[in-house]
Amino acid sequence: MMQYFVIDQQGWYDDLEPDIEVQTFGGGPPLVQAYASGNIDFAYVGISPGLVAIANGVSSKVVAANVLEPNVMVGSSEFRSYWVEHGPDAFEQFRSDKGRKPRFATLPAGSTPDVFLRYWITEVLGLDLDVIEIVGQSPSALQSTLSSGNADAGSAIEPVPTILQENPDTDMKPFIYAGEIMPGQPGAVLQPSQSLVDDNPDLIQELVDIHVRATGFIHENRSRAAEMASEVIGSDILSADVATKAINTPASNFISNPRRIVEKSLVYNDFHQQLGSVDTDLSESDVFDHSFYEEASGGGQ
């Protein structure tokens, strides 16, 4: 949610009317539950839970994109060696050797990293999902599980992969980036409620304007933007040094233009239907409202 970190630290919400009250969540699924209850007017949320929300009747629209290809597969040195030697057969070979399935940790079911992991296994590798054990956890628990060796591999987003990379006490490291699995993978989005779009389009335009402005700031001031992320999250959790390294990985492709994620977002919707989490076939117009971004920029990132 880099755009949010920049907006927060720059104080750009303070210039808007009415006042913006921010609430944070430990992942997309609980955020969507709050959204469905009517307690949220707009959200920065992963595209996967955002799509599920729309398909399940939460009237809202994606008006800006945040990031492309944010997902990273991480693995222990042992699992990585299986992958290098056996490729898609690594899972069955691991099970044959160890007497158990490889254990993959990720965020809770329905989150973007969780769905992306399932997509990789079934759609890209062509395997049954039962070749792995999936453990869905909160962000803090996920990082702890991966760093402590209580999982063989995992599906995560920055800064977790870089935190693991920089930790000398764990051998859990990145081994596949999303661009190698699904080029153009959508990440998080800015998603206001339809009622806010209908009743206060001027506010939505201002939100998209500062979002686009934040994306430009990130591209022009990556190190400072990383420091802002550290300041919002807490330097004890994410140091500025690690944040700077994370913002320069292949998983940190910050954008604003929602048109760049339309195709793969609808692929996600198709996959959600296969998983049984939704039964609605969404169209581009069901999910996206491009007008605010077009007004803000007329193109660009």
Per-residue model confidence as pLDDT tens for the chain (301 residues):
999 999 999 999 999 988 999 998 877 778 888 888 888 999 999 999 999 999 999 999 999 999 999 999 999 999 999 999 999 999 999 999 999 999 999 998 888 999 999 999 999 999 999 999 999 998 889 999 999 999 999 999 999 999 999 999 999 999 999 999 999 999 999 999 999 999 999 999 999 999 999 999 999 999 999 999 999 989 998 999 999 999 999 999 999 999 999 999 999 999 999 888 889 999 999 999 999 999 998 755 5
Domains of the chain in start order, with CATH, are: 2-68+184-297 (3.40.190.10), 71-181 (3.40.190.10)
Tell me the CA distances in angstroms from 268 to 70, 94, 115, 167, 287, one per residue in order: 15, 29, 8, 33, 12
Best CA proximity match to 83, nearest among 127, 142, 145: 127
Q: Are strands 153-157 and 103-106 parallel, antiparallel or unpaired?
A: parallel
Q: How are strands ordered across the β-sheet holding 188-192? A: 42-46, 188-192, 64-65
Joined together, the tokens standing for residue 239 give 């140091």
SS3 (DSSP) at 292: helix
Q: pTM to 2 decimals?
A: 0.92
Cα–Cα dist 216/222, whole Å: 10
Cα–Cα dist 230/253, whole Å: 18
